[in-house]
Amino acid sequence: MGVEFNSTVLVIFYIAVSGLCSSNKVSCVPNTNTTSILCNSGVYTKGDPFATSLAYVLSDLEAITPVTKGYNYTNISPFPNAFAYGHATCNSALPSIDCTTCLGVAIQSMISTCSNRIGARSVLYDCSIRYEQYPFDD
């Protein structure tokens, strides 16, 4: 009394799903188009302890946000000599792996645009990330 699928039915199903993924009706990958990137006017210099704090915060945001319920995560670096504060979110409809992908693109865009800034924000259609040298509330 089992259900049997022949290969023709499976191929048709695969083609139908593939067609949906390539249309605008269903998103199968995160939308990583940039909405905005904002940079704090303050800068830090090479060798500044803030760089270590920032690296920690961004890495933690990228790793933990996708496994946090609601994809909404805030953190602070554990290094008291130069704190960095961060916040990241993803579209809750995304699978976890797509949240990770989106945040990776957001971080790269933000760092390349806002090099050595003490604060920045990258807003993409399906995710956003922000860091600052001071506490903030989004």
Angle subtended by helix axes 96-113 and 49-64, to nearest 10: 160
Q: CB–CB of 111/131 below 8 Å?
A: no
**Quick one: pLDDT at residue 28?**
60
Within-domain flag for 117: yes
Query: What CATH number has the domain bearing residue 43?
Result: 3.30.430.20
pLDDT digits 0-9 by tens, 87-126: 999 999 999 999 999 999 999 999 999 999 999 999 999 9
Q: Which tokens hold the place of 66?
A: 């996708």
Per the structure, the complete domain to which residue 125 belongs is given by: 30-132
pTM score, whole prediction: 0.79
- Residue the block writes with tokens 């199903």: 13
- 68 within some domain: yes
Domain-embedded: residue 25: no
